[in-house]
Amino acid sequence: MEGLADRIPPEAVQRLCESKRLVVLTGAGVSAESGVPTFRGKEGLWKNHRPEQLATPQAFEKDPELVWDWYHWRRNTVREASPNPAHYAIAELERKIPAFALVTQNVDGLHLRAGSEKVLEIHGDLHHARCSKCSDVVALEEQAGLVICELCGGHMRPNVVWFGENLDVRLLEEAFVASRASDFLIVAGTSNIVQPAASLAYEALGNDGYVLEINLDPTPLTGSASATVLGKAGEILGELVKMAWPEEH
Ligand code: OAD
C-alpha cells in the first residue's frame, strides 16, 4: 500500500533541503484540519452565504450589524480552534531556511499562534478592527456588538480585505518580491483562483523556482506546478519536513 512518503517526489525533498529562499503561500485548506471552514467546496462558507451580502464595503454600509455579527461568529470559531500540524510544520520551515516568507490569505491568526513570525496576512486579520472613517486599528477582545471609533466616532469594521477592495500595497509588494526571488515555493490549501495570491506561484516558476502544491484536489495551478501532492496539508507538510530533515525527527 502506498504510504505518505511515497506521494512526495524525492526531487521536492532534495530541493527543499537545499533551499535558501523559501516562500509558503497558504489558503483556507491549511486551517481546515483545525475545524475552520473553507470558502468553497461542499461545506464552504460561500455555499450558504453570499459574499456580496457579507464581504463587501457596500454590504457593511447597508447592514453593518449583519456583517459585524458574521465576522464575530467567525472570530469565535477561530478562538476555539487550535493550530494543526500544517501550521506547526510551516513554523518549523521558517526556522530552517535562511530567507523565508509566509504569505497567507487566511485571517484566522493560526499561523502566528503556531509560532510563525514572518507572516504576510495579505487579506487582513479577524482579530483587529479598523475605523471606516479614520482607519485607526484596534485589537478586538470579546466584544460582540458593533464598535464605535474612540477617535472619530466612525463605525469600526473588520480589519479584512473585502471583495472589490485593494490589498495593502506594501504587503503585496513584499509577497511578490519574495516569490520572484524564491528557489522553492509551497502552495498549500488554496483553490488558487483568487487574485493576486493566485499569481505568486507563477512568479517563482518564471525564475526557475520549484513550486510544490499541496491540496486535497487538483486546482488551476496543478498543470503548471513542478509537483502536486494530493492529500491533507497537515499530513503532507509534516511528512515533508520529516523527510527533508530526518535526523531531527
Ligand atoms: P478556498 O475555500 O477557495 O479553497 C480551499 C482549498 O483548500 C480547496 O482547494 C480545497 O481543496 C483545499 N483543502 C481543503 N481542506 C484541505 C486540507 N485539509 N488540506 C489541503 N487542502 C485542503 O480557500 P482560499 O483558496 O483560501 O477571500 O480562498 C481564497 C480567498 O477567497 C479567501 O481568502 C477569501 C475567499 O473569498 C476573501 O475573503 C477576500
Q: What is the model's pLDDT at position 21? A: 98
Distance CA 104, CA 93 (A): 15
pLDDT at 1 over 80: no
Q: What average pLDDT is seen over the chain?
A: 94
Pick the residue whose CA is nearest to atom 18 on ligand 1: 232
Of 212, 216, 237, the residue with max ligand 1 atoms within 8 A of its CB, to mutate for a pocket test, comes to 216
Q: Is the CB of 161 under 6 A from ligand 1?
A: yes
pLDDT of residue 143: 67
* Average pLDDT for 38-59: 86
Least confident of 32-41, 109-118, 206-215: 32-41
**pLDDT over 70 percentage in the chain:** 99
Ligand 1 in reach of 191 Cβ (< 6 A): yes
pLDDT tens per residue across span 135-156:
999 999 776 788 899 999 998 9
- Please work out whether the CB of residue 108 comes within 6 Å of at least one atom of ligand 1: no
Summarize pLDDT for 153-190 with one digit per residue, the tens: 998 999 999 999 999 999 999 999 999 999 999 999 99
| Residues designated as active site | 123
Q: How far, in Å, is the centroid of ligand 1 from the Cα of 152?
A: 36
Q: What is the pTM of this model?
A: 0.96
Q: 85 alpha carbon to ligand 1 midpoint, in Å? A: 17
Determine the average pLDDT of the residues in 105-112: 98
Residue 13 confidence (pLDDT) above 70 = yes
pLDDT at 98 exceeding the cut of 70? yes
Mean pLDDT over 102-131 rounds to 97
Question: By alpha-carbon position, which residue is closest to atom 15 of ligand 1?
Answer: 29
Residue 36 phi, psi (nearest 5): -90, 125
Could you identify the atom of ligand 1 that is nearest to the CA of residue 55?
Answer: 38
Cα distance between residue 134 and residue 163, in whole Å: 20
Secondary structure (H, E, C), the chain: CCCHHHHCCHHHHHHHHHCCEEEEEECCHHHHCCCCCCCCCCCCHHHHCCHHHHCCHHHHHHCHHHHHHHHHHHHHHHHCCCCCHHHHHHHHHHHHCCEEEEEECCCCCHHHHCCCCCEEECCEEEEEEEECCCCCEEECCCCCCCCECCCCCCEEEEEECCCCCCCCHHHHHHHHHHHHHCCEEEEECCCCCCCCHHHHHHHHHHCCCEEEEEECCCCCCCCCCCEEEECCHHHHHHHHHHHHCHHHC
Q: Ligand 1: does its nearest atom lie under 6 Å from the Cβ of 194? A: yes
Residue 70: CB within 6 Å of ligand 1?
Answer: no
| 69-93 pLDDT, tens digit each | 999 999 999 999 999 999 999 999 9
